[in-house]
Amino acid sequence: MAPALGAATVLALAGAAVASLPGAEHIVSQKGKRFGPEAVNLRPGERVTIVNDDSNFVHHAYVEAPDLAYDSGDIEPGGRAVITFPKEGDFFVLCGVHPKMKLAVHVR
């Protein structure tokens, strides 16, 4: 039997523009040189799990903001990185390997 998918996963798979589920696990896919979804809404202290769903690309995830600095290093195919957003604000998660990839994170 296949494992049940969480609501955030279902939104990501459906290509939703914004995932916003209080208390839910926020999963964002890196696939085809893009983040999916491309934006998420969080509460302070919530996390985003970035999953490299490509089978042949290494990805990366980083945030450079006055209140938050994060660098995942290389995320190999199938790998994950977890980013916690402790404060309110608007942030961008970027891929150091594919500069056009951008995930908007809105924390309220």
Confirm if 85 and 44 have CB atoms less than 8 A apart: yes
Averaged pLDDT for residues 17-35: 75
pLDDT in tens, 39-79: 999 999 999 999 999 999 999 999 999 989 999 999 999 99
- pLDDT for the residue 7: 42
